């Protein structure tokens, strides 16, 4: 890690130069924006100012005629003085230019404060803590460049991400994280991940887009902001999650763009082949142990998706491995040890009966469909198209895209 700094300092200096140029461009844009605002304010009284100037023009012309003679003499004197001054200044600059540039660069480097932000995942994350990595990199930067560490308000932030496959060292261009959204009241899935999923779905105007496990609605919010002329529906079994989604929709001004339903992901109240696009974050972690029931979720999504439609899912490493193993072996999951009877899984898949809420999945439905679903491949008519590994911080996940090739017959 120290060799990244000691053996290639030129790359660091080039990166710092680019970073400073970007800051200067940003500052210029802010000044231009502020100037435009001031110009708009000045235009309010522009007509009155023009009239007043016209009245004074005649008076000023007479005064200027008298001053022309005096200005001519002054210009000649100033020209001679400027020539002498310019000659002296050029001689002075020629002798001390190199020393001045070196001193300026040194002063700028010494004045630079920094902070190292680290993220370690995979086996590397178990061997090293983020604090240890940050300390190693920070000491190397201080020794090599003379920068000063400032953990509270640094001018520069160094970002490092280490995992088993790759390492990333970079400088964030923005002070505020890219995932920060002013229009999201309660954060759920990271906004950048949600936007990436929506962009992979190839959303077109007039499409019917469904998120059957919408949570706090981050995916739908990002999609509706970018592709507004679309019919969006979000579904979830949790009333608390839907309340959070509704708050986010109101904060973003999208309450008329997205419809919410409290239903089970394994019993969607939609006709077969009625949805154009499905985008969803499949829950995982200790709170949501779906296990083998991801097969049933995928099959219900397949049922409501029309032929040629697209599904984009965010899958945990475990879910992705299960689906990949099943695809390679063409053997469906063994449902004898299904977790649907466990309280945690039932709560995740099936909403509780409440006034005004959708009905729970009936026992007759389970009995009539369970055997049939067990015999099906979890992919069915869904053809894998793309798969991208992404970082969620401490864990990694996969964004997987599927296309429906033919009618599923459900």
367 or 22: which leads in pLDDT: 22
Q: What is the mean pLDDT of the chain?
A: 75
Is it the case that residue 340 has pLDDT exceeding 80?
Answer: no
Is it the case that residue 352 has pLDDT exceeding 50?
Answer: no
pLDDT-derived band of residue 141, with 50, 70 and 90 as boundaries?
Answer: confident
**What are the residue ranges of helices labelled H in 112-147?**
122-127, 130-145
Please state the rounded mean pLDDT for residues 23-43.
69
Class of domain 11-19+110-175: alpha beta
Distance CA(225)–CA(275), nearest Å, equals 20
pLDDT tens across 365-382, in order?
344 444 433 434 456 788
Q: Please say whether the beta carbons of 157 and 114 come within 8 A.
A: yes
Q: Which residues have a Cβ under 8 Å from the Cβ of 164 and sit 6 or more positions away? A: 121, 122, 123, 124
Is it the case that residue 189 has pLDDT exceeding 60?
Answer: yes
Distance CA(322)–CA(315), nearest Å, equals 10
Q: Which of 104-113, 126-135, 161-170, 323-332 is the most confident on average?
A: 126-135
- Supply the pLDDT for residue 201: 94
Please state the rounded mean pLDDT for residues 387-399.
86
Q: Which of 41-55, 123-137, 299-313, 379-393 is the most confident on average?
A: 299-313
Lowest-pLDDT choice from 198-212, 292-306, 361-375: 361-375
Distance CA(198)–CA(190), nearest Å, equals 13
Please state the rounded mean pLDDT for residues 117-146.
86
What phi and psi values does residue 148 have, to the nearest 5 degrees?
Answer: -110, 135
- Supply the pLDDT for residue 87: 55
Is it the case that residue 308 has pLDDT exceeding 90?
Answer: yes
In the CATH hierarchy, which fold is given to the domain comprising 191-326+378-404? Answer: Rossmann fold (3.40.50)
Distance CA(169)–CA(144), nearest Å, equals 17
User: pLDDT exceeding 90 applies to what percent of the chain?
Assistant: 26
Please state the rounded mean pLDDT for residues 337-341.
36
Q: Please say whether the beta carbons of 234 and 248 come within 8 A.
A: no
- Supply the pLDDT for residue 283: 83
**DSSP secondary structure string for all residues of 291-340:** GGGHHHHHHHHHHHEEEEEEEEEEEEHHHHHHHHHHHHHT-----TT-ST
Is it the case that residue 346 has pLDDT exceeding 80?
Answer: no
215 or 373: which leads in pLDDT: 215
Is it the case that residue 357 has pLDDT exceeding 80?
Answer: no
Q: Please say whether the beta carbons of 156 and 16 come within 8 A.
A: yes
153 or 176: which leads in pLDDT: 153
Please state the rounded mean pLDDT for residues 256-262.
93
Residue 173: burial class (beta carbons within 10 Å; 0-12, 13-18, 19+): exposed
- Supply the pLDDT for residue 280: 94
What phi and psi values does residue 257 have, to the nearest 5 degrees?
Answer: -100, -25
Q: Please say whether the beta carbons of 164 and 120 come within 8 A.
A: no
User: pLDDT exceeding 70 applies to what percent of the chain?
Assistant: 65
pLDDT tens across 261-295, in order?
999 888 899 999 999 999 999 887 555 555 557 78
Residue ranges per structural domain of the chain:
11-19+110-175, 191-326+378-404
pLDDT-derived band of residue 103, with 50, 70 and 90 as boundaries?
Answer: very low
């Amino acid at each position: 890690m120290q060799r990244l700094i000691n053996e290639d300092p030129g790359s660091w200096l080039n990166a710092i130069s680019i970073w400073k140029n970007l800051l200067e461009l940003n500052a210029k844009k802010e000044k231009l924006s502020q100037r435009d605002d001031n110009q708009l304010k000045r235009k309010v009284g522009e007509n009155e100012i023009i009239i007043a100037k016209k009245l004074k023009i005649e008076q000023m012309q007479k005064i200027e005629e008298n001053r022309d003679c005096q200005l001519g003499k002054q210009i000649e004197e100033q020209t001679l003085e400027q020539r002498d001054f310019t000659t002296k200044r050029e001689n002075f600059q020629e002798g001390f230019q190199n020393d001045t540039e070196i001193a300026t660069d040194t002063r700028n480097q010494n004045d630079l404060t920094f902070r190292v932000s680290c993220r370690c995942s995979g086996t590397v994350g178990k061997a090293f803590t983020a604090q240890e990595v940050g300390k190693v990199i920070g000491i190397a930067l201080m020794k090599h460049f003379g920068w000063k560490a400032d953990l509270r308000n640094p001018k520069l932030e160094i970002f490092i991400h280490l995992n088993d496959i790759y390492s990333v060292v970079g400088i964030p261009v923005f002070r505020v994280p890219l995932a920060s959204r002013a229009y999201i009241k309660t954060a759920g899935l990271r906004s950048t991940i949600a936007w990436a999923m929506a962009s992979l779905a190839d959303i077109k105007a007039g499409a019917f887009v469904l998120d059957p496990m919408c949570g706090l609605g981050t995916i739908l919010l990002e999609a509706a902001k970018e592709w507004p002329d679309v019919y969006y529906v979000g579904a979830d079994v949790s009333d608390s999650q839907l309340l959070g989604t509704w708050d986010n929709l109101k904060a973003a001004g999208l309450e008329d763009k997205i419809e919410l339903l409290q239903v089970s992901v394994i019993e969607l109240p939609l006709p077969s082949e009625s949805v154009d696009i499905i985008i969803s974050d499949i829950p995982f972690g200790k709170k949501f142990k779906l296990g083998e029931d991801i097969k049933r979720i995928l099959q219900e999504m397949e049922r409501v998706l029309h032929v040629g439609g697209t599904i984009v899912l965010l899958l945990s490493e475990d879910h992705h491995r299960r689906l990949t193993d099943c695809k390679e072996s063409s053997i469906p999951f063994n449902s004898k040890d299904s977790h649907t009877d466990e309280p945690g899984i039932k709560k995740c898949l099936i909403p509780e009966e409440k006034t005004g809420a959708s009905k729970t999945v009936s026992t007759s439905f389970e009995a009539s469909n369970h055997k049939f679903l067990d015999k099906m491949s979890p992919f069915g008519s869904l053809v894998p198209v793309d798969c991208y590994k992404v970082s969620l911080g401490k864990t990694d996940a996969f964004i997987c895209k599927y296309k429906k090739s033919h009618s599923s017959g459900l």
